[in-house]
Amino acid sequence: NEAKIIASAADIVSNQSIAASFRAVYNNETVSSCSSAAGGTCTLTVKARRPVEVTATSPGYAARTSIETLASDEEREVNFRLIS
């Protein structure tokens, strides 16, 4: 079964939304990737009940990774707060 991560990113200091790219990795394999514009989100489709490593990157910011394990058919919003 699948699940969806609705990804977005913001500047940790100003809390302003920023454009970013996101990658979901399971077992050293990229299973989904997407990019969002500032103010927007994008959707990563991942396998449910598996610990997926989600990494957010944006030019001028340090990359940030979190581990997400979603239930079957779950949609989870994940906001990454990035440090420049």
With tokens 């919003």, the residue in question is 77
Domains of the chain by residue range: 2-73
**Dihedral, 84, 77, 44, 66 alpha carbons, nearest 10:** 50
Would you say how long the chain is, in residues?
84
Check: CB of residue 42 under 8 Å from CB of residue 36: yes
Q: How would you classify the pairing of strands 20-26 and 29-36? A: antiparallel
Residue 39: per-residue pLDDT: 98
- The model's pLDDT over 29-75, given as tens digits with 9 standing for 90+, comes to 999 999 999 999 999 999 999 999 999 999 999 999 999 999 999 99
CA–CA gap between residue 41 and residue 15 (Å, rounded): 15
Residue 43: per-residue pLDDT: 99
Residue 68: per-residue pLDDT: 98
